[in-house]
Structure 1
């Protein structure tokens, strides 16, 4: 099972006088610790009962029954990934993942069309080294349609794979590669794989493949790839949700049974490689601070050492209380962040540790300390408490993920992963049992066994990028719009007629009842019950947000929230981190522009001590000056790093141009505004904004309200507001849209893609119920995969990996944005298409009948899946309060959607969007891009980022 902590593998290279203090004496802390549920008890609560059977053609079927909602998670996993690709065909597994979304013989259109017709949610497909998977969660009444759809692309695909589709998806995949490569540190993963896995090793190339191999892929090549790898006897189907094995079997037999067997892919065997000596590589890129990362090749997921290595890495650098955090970040303050992870694949894994160097500190200093701490850890081993904390945090994350029947980490995926990669759907149970009984000695032995072997040390430092982009052999020649196929080459051949089954009657959304009550001090509590998993979520929401920041001190709200978790008057930041880990609790801070929210996700068995911890953090922050300076440095480094990425630079540039630079929504935080913040500012912000008379509490739990309220009352019921007045926000200086459009070109040399973003402020009232007409109008223009902008630039032209239009709704302003990362040599063409599409949509070519039907049906049918999780319910209730909506609002949506017409959607779009008043920002290589913009007829200003 792939385990990550803090960051993804690719991202590793970048990388007081407080009011109303509540004392928490040592004996109370000890008592709270004693209330923690035993780890084995938590393990015993995790169960995914299933039944497994196999069809005559070899298809493995796994069914898990979960009647919590009228939805079913459908997952199809194929036993083929990039490690199974022969030389000269790298990227084929991933390319075929794309092609299998582009239509089959009886469902020839884009598969997202059929998924939306069913009201599917959580749908996607992914490819990694070891497998290719497809998944969707559908209403129970649409399950038969989903099985027909999945079986058609398994058994009846090749007649629909045409040269036109191959050329198009080749372009999309190559733009996906460009998009990843264009990020700071985007070339690092190639170096890691090349160093750890020598040529000829199955893991010697990344799943995205090479431009050259993608260029060379012929139609017959990809068809043979399908014939060899996608038969039913090389696949596993998992159904999880509102269905029993007895109900599932005849449906699966009906749709998958007639499909003929194919060859069986025997997954490539691969040894765990071992470097003969330590390797040190230094690379440069557009990063704000140097990053040092160490990598070891370790065993894959079925090895006994998997869990020990994962826990060991977490203790060393993954947990908030990790040793590297404590020593390098908190105590010595020579790093601004650390990371660790054990990324286990089927045959091999990559164990890594990293640290981002604090600006001004020598790289050699941090690298030396990193090596010393690793050596000390291996020599001493972890403590029992460290192992238990890591195990509890791991288990709590697993429990939360299993609330979903589908999605990226739900029950269907868990069962499929175990079957395909470990030969056991219940593989997760074995891992959890190991987790519950793991000893410090086992962790130490695993770390000593693998981390004393030679390793790769990769240093990524600021500077001119090291390494070159691999570009397609001929970018223009591969464009789908220019491909000239032989007559008839793009015709679809149907080998067997398979009519689509009807969608049965579907259940309406049953949004949980919301109870409103108050604590003794007047804080309103909104409660809803969801009992799918033993978890309680509590959100303490303040009417503040980043909009409460003074303009000259933008970032104050974020810095205040960040410091609340870095020590209270009774606990240090390390003690807070350790306490959360013992409880398996997650306490997060955020909320966006209009709200500041502290959210607790607690195992219900540990709710009482978790609430005690939450109230200490909220009510008693120490705002220690040393911690402030440390977090300030991290924040400044984060701002600087965000401005190295194309997206970050684009949004930083466009926000003040859309909203105006002198208001709460438009002025971005900068290094200068964050540097100006004092400790007194933090205290003042908390007193004026983060107070009980400016707060609401939202709860979604498997526990009854009567069981939850005593803990809430104890934590927050006696909290008194300070004497200073509450803060006020001003929204009277938001800009209006300019009289004419213009382009601001931000020069970012050596960029294989340009990041385009355009938009305008609108006159829409964020609290007007009719805003849903604008949302659904945008679903035709840019709001989802099938929208015109994406279908044009991605699915027709192949110039982009994805294009979106979005209605950006804040409490006191609504804006509209279009964003499109496009290959650099097509920037001007893409801009012309974006402008044309938006203009035609609001003038001559509004919403069509087909679009209206598809969009409305999708919005209605997906409602049960959309609110499957407690987290989604919690967010919805908070939105109802912010936008003054009734608590049954979600249950009224279906009727509102049914009332929509082409005219109502067109009117909403035309009232909000004026393409002649857009501000466009393009982040790209100005030397290559600017000449392409000359024909657009818009003024262009080129700027150099500081």
Structure 2
């Protein structure tokens, strides 16, 4: 996870959208109030905390937030892939996996107590400089998880076996294959291996090399734990329903007896400089040529990182960025362009990229890209650009801090500050420094670092000449590494953190006898759980009949608004698939009064995030606003929805972008499988028988006109089909006048509103395999499904609960078999879809190529046994029901989660107290009830299997399964 200033997090571009040129009942949006000053937004970012340390060196941070009965636990270790010596790449990440496989006093999988207790937002991640483990748990389960976190910090090695190591090694290698298999999946290797010399801590990827993972011994991984996982190399954050006194007592109890480990030696990681420009071209399964420009730049230990990050936002991170304005909308030579400054503790990369528009000369586009970089470096940003970038950044941070934990909430923000800067409150200094930036400071940093020799990478469409197997380690297929200067390490020199065999630090002292610490023989009991307090739902109706559904959440000064229309993919004309997606993209091009650049600037000045999504049954437009700027943000949202420009001048550019997006789907394994599966299940004439991305048919996209898009907008995006949902730091009384001003005057267009026809016949199901050839794929993407007899408005809770056991969770039968037992995949999942009419059951399983056939056979056997005589077991019933009830308070911690709950209550015609009833209902389920729900709904003999992979290698495996195997083409290809 990267810091909140990353341009990837700041590119709050409006998602797919749509327009219409000649629209009835358009209005001029009310004048927007002036945005709140940046200084006021920065002041709103505050996480009060208290800090203490244990004698063993563990640093602890405590933040009190009583909005929900949950506590976020976040443990950060100061060890990442930069600490790995030669021959040991991938160890930090491999060890992260091992840390989830039990400890000496918790022999089972770590996910079992997590799900039993109703934990949310739980995971572990590894990056170059740190490894973290986090979970948000009910307050009454805090002791249980402090015991578990402390147990794997101090009592892990006795539980690490050769069998566990072998299994997790296979899982990690499949994770590597899964990443490598994606379009542009090899770019990170090229970036690191060419910018940093061999031996530099950032030269190799965190995932590591296949050879090093194969060579990891049990002694190796145990030494890695001893060297790096002591409490004196860790930060523990507790954020949520807790106070300092309670935290001190509990942390001392569970962590106090763990002795300090060896002092982790500092790593030298100077910023390298290429001696001369380097250019390289590779081929990949990509839709269009992508051009990169890359430089190694300073990390968090150098103040230049901040102006470089803001410079990247201005260049390519804003919706009104230099690259979008000039290359995409202006010269129209690229279908997309962006920039990002990815910052590590001691170095980082400034990366600029552009996707060449089909038909354009790549060299000319590269020259245009270089010209925009040079212009910003030479002239620096304007004061307005700098202000907008800073406002977007502050607003984004405010929204993320509503969550106490997870990937970007309060706990990780505090932990990152302490780990990287020695100051948990560093985020406030960073925001203050950002607000104080001047164009001159940004220009100076850009001139210092971006006038050095560049690494220019070009990725062209074509067949890969190599995969990722040879990449990720110390001595990969580099062409420049040994000639790079400034890194401090040649190929023969050892970096400061190198350990020769036999010279590893002494083992950590043994933990004192159990009598001196708490009883660890059993997991601490879970106390009395607080009941779910779902916010009160209030309703209103605007003067034009538009319904408003409201819930108040005042933890942070943000408001989320969703305007949902009864449309969605199912409304797309059967003879013109992709109309809605084109409309939504065209809506990004501005309104009748604001062109695309002016609209983006207005949104950025307000710190508002406006996005849209076409779902199967609804088309939704969402606004995430900071409360002080709500009125202006709503006015902008209304203008965006009601008055799209739909200019003919924009259409050809958007058409090229849409065709490029479809082409990209036709090369992505998951999208390819979806494009085959859904028409096969529902039939091509059913409204649900379309690829779930909704991007449509290339032939249709090529012929759509502004009039076509305007007609769809007028027919489907009208007041009578709209519901407005509002959640956040306001009241219904306060927000209704704002909504009335923005949407109340919107008149219903002439003519009857259209109605979706979901009565098209669904093809009879029979078990078969549809094989899509994707040569040289290191993995096979398996996707299977069947249409069920139920609709989304039926009571599907028993079936979905049963599926948690079969394939819907980490602990499910399918995942535990293929991932944890066999090691053939990074993960398998299954789900019952959320659609208003007929739903499907779907399985997704990316597996290693040589186990494609056996994987399908294993899933067939697991599913067959579950549905026949090996149904829900007692322990599975516990975590699938009790755990589901316990996680509800954490599941509705944020405004966005409450908003999603409101939408589903209305969409699926549920009672207002649905989630409160659910909390009571889950524990009443019995295993026979869940078994009956699954056996009545699911039929393995009706599954259609789609496999995308290297046909030459996998068809012989599939032929052994006894099912018909048909070679399929991907619609649109």
- Normalising by structure 2, we get a TM-score of 0.92
Deviation at 1:737, TM superposition (A): 4.3
Deviation at 1:494, TM superposition (A): 13
Closer, same or farther: CA 736–849 of 1 in aligned 2, 3 Å:
farther
Deviation at 1:944, TM superposition (A): 5.2
Is the counterpart of residue 561 in structure 1 residue 560 in structure 2?
no
Show the counterpart of 2:482: none
State how far apart, in whole Å, the 2-side matches of 1:267 and 1:942 are. Answer: 55
- Pick the aligned partner of 1:759 from 770, 785, 804: 785
Within a 5 Å distance, the mapping from 1:866-877 to structure 2 comes to 866-877=891-902
Cα offsets for 1:638-671 (capped at 9, x unmatched):
1110110111111111110111111111134221
Deviation at 1:850, TM superposition (A): 1.7
Show the counterpart of 1:510: 533
Show the counterpart of 1:478: none
Show the counterpart of 1:842: 867
Deviation at 1:767, TM superposition (A): 0.9
Show the counterpart of 1:712: 739
Is the counterpart of residue 4 in structure 1 residue 6 in structure 2?
yes
Deviation at 1:591, TM superposition (A): 4.0
Cα offsets for 1:527-547 (capped at 9, x unmatched):
100011101111111100111
Deviation at 1:6, TM superposition (A): 4.5
Alignment RMSD: 1.6
Closer, same or farther: CA 944–657 of 1 in aligned 2, 3 Å:
closer
Cα offsets for 1:351-407 (capped at 9, x unmatched):
111110000101011001111111111222111100000000011111111000000
State how far apart, in whole Å, the 2-side matches of 1:638 and 1:161 are. Answer: 45
**SS of equivalent residue, structure 1 residue 75:** strand
State how far apart, in whole Å, the 1-side matches of 2:746 and 2:526 are. Answer: 53
Deviation at 1:266, TM superposition (A): 2.9
**SS of equivalent residue, structure 2 residue 575:** helix
Native 8 Å contact 1:19 1:620 kept in 2: no
Is the counterpart of residue 308 in structure 1 residue 331 in structure 2?
no
Show the counterpart of 2:27: 22
State how far apart, in whole Å, the 2-side matches of 1:631 and 1:533 are. Answer: 37
**SS of equivalent residue, structure 2 residue 834:** strand
Show the counterpart of 2:563: 540
Is the counterpart of residue 886 in structure 1 residue 911 in structure 2?
yes
Deviation at 1:706, TM superposition (A): 1.6
Show the counterpart of 1:104: 103
Native 8 Å contact 1:103 1:109 kept in 2: yes
Show the counterpart of 1:144: 143
Within a 5 Å distance, the mapping from 1:85-484 to structure 2 comes to 85-470=84-469
Deviation at 1:899, TM superposition (A): 2.3
Native 8 Å contact 2:591 2:643 kept in 1: yes
Show the counterpart of 1:486: none
State how far apart, in whole Å, the 1-side matches of 2:467 and 2:908 are. Answer: 49
State how far apart, in whole Å, the 2-side matches of 1:734 and 1:105 are. Answer: 56
State how far apart, in whole Å, the 2-side matches of 1:458 and 1:5 are. Answer: 20
Closer, same or farther: CA 145–853 of 1 in aligned 2, 3 Å:
same
Closer, same or farther: CA 573–430 of 1 in aligned 2, 3 Å:
same
Is the counterpart of residue 796 in structure 1 residue 821 in structure 2?
yes
Show the counterpart of 1:772: 797
Is the counterpart of residue 749 in structure 1 residue 749 in structure 2?
no
State how far apart, in whole Å, the 2-side matches of 1:796 and 1:688 are. Answer: 53
Deviation at 1:8, TM superposition (A): 11
- Pick the aligned partner of 1:912 from 927, 937, 947: 937
Show the counterpart of 2:684: 661
**SS of equivalent residue, structure 2 residue 808:** coil
Deviation at 1:626, TM superposition (A): 1.9
Native 8 Å contact 2:102 2:109 kept in 1: yes
Show the counterpart of 1:929: 954
Unaligned 5+ segments in structure 1 are: 10-15, 474-492
Native 8 Å contact 1:19 1:619 kept in 2: no
More contact order relative to length (CA 8 Å, sep ≥ 6): 2
Native 8 Å contact 2:314 2:385 kept in 1: yes
Native 8 Å contact 1:301 1:344 kept in 2: yes
Within a 5 Å distance, the mapping from 1:891-906 to structure 2 comes to 891-906=916-931
Show the counterpart of 1:570: 593
Native 8 Å contact 2:10 2:393 kept in 1: no
**SS of equivalent residue, structure 1 residue 809:** coil
**SS of equivalent residue, structure 1 residue 553:** coil
Closer, same or farther: CA 494–284 of 1 in aligned 2, 3 Å:
farther
State how far apart, in whole Å, the 1-side matches of 2:242 and 2:8 are. Answer: 36
State how far apart, in whole Å, the 2-side matches of 1:372 and 1:203 are. Answer: 29
Closer, same or farther: CA 189–471 of 1 in aligned 2, 3 Å:
closer
State how far apart, in whole Å, the 2-side matches of 1:8 and 1:889 are. Answer: 35
Unaligned 5+ segments in structure 2 are: 12-20, 473-510
Q: How many pairs does the alignment contain? A: 913
Show the counterpart of 1:616: 639
State how far apart, in whole Å, the 1-side matches of 2:690 and 2:76 are. Answer: 46
Cα offsets for 1:658-697 (capped at 9, x unmatched):
1111111113422112223221111111111101111111
Deviation at 1:188, TM superposition (A): 1.5
**SS of equivalent residue, structure 1 residue 757:** strand
State how far apart, in whole Å, the 1-side matches of 2:702 and 2:883 are. Answer: 47
Closer, same or farther: CA 219–388 of 1 in aligned 2, 3 Å:
same
**SS of equivalent residue, structure 2 residue 270:** coil
State how far apart, in whole Å, the 2-side matches of 1:469 and 1:387 are. Answer: 39
Deviation at 1:81, TM superposition (A): 0.4
- Pick the aligned partner of 1:597 from 616, 620, 627: 620
State how far apart, in whole Å, the 2-side matches of 1:194 and 1:467 are. Answer: 15
Native 8 Å contact 1:116 1:854 kept in 2: yes
Closer, same or farther: CA 433–834 of 1 in aligned 2, 3 Å:
same
Closer, same or farther: CA 826–778 of 1 in aligned 2, 3 Å:
same
Deviation at 1:765, TM superposition (A): 2.5
State how far apart, in whole Å, the 2-side matches of 1:4 and 1:466 are. Answer: 32
Cα offsets for 1:320-360 (capped at 9, x unmatched):
10011011100111000011111000000111111100001
Deviation at 1:716, TM superposition (A): 0.6
Deviation at 1:472, TM superposition (A): 12
Deviation at 1:734, TM superposition (A): 4.3
State how far apart, in whole Å, the 1-side matches of 2:709 and 2:143 are. Answer: 56
Native 8 Å contact 1:215 1:472 kept in 2: no
Deviation at 1:853, TM superposition (A): 1.5
Native 8 Å contact 1:584 1:603 kept in 2: yes
Native 8 Å contact 1:568 1:622 kept in 2: yes
State which drifts further: 577-586 or 833-842.
833-842
Show the counterpart of 1:479: none
Cα offsets for 1:724-768 (capped at 9, x unmatched):
221111111141441x31111111111111111111001013212
Native 8 Å contact 1:517 1:525 kept in 2: yes
Moved over 4 A (4+): 6-9, 493-497
**SS of equivalent residue, structure 2 residue 713:** helix
State how far apart, in whole Å, the 1-side matches of 2:874 and 2:398 are. Answer: 43
State how far apart, in whole Å, the 2-side matches of 1:548 and 1:391 are. Answer: 39
- Normalising by structure 1, we get a TM-score of 0.95
Native 8 Å contact 2:22 2:707 kept in 1: no
Show the counterpart of 1:487: none
Cα offsets for 1:783-825 (capped at 9, x unmatched):
0000000000000000100000111121111100111111101
Show the counterpart of 2:602: 579
Deviation at 1:471, TM superposition (A): 7.1
State how far apart, in whole Å, the 1-side matches of 2:293 and 2:761 are. Answer: 48
**SS of equivalent residue, structure 1 residue 764:** strand
Is the counterpart of residue 826 in structure 1 residue 851 in structure 2?
yes
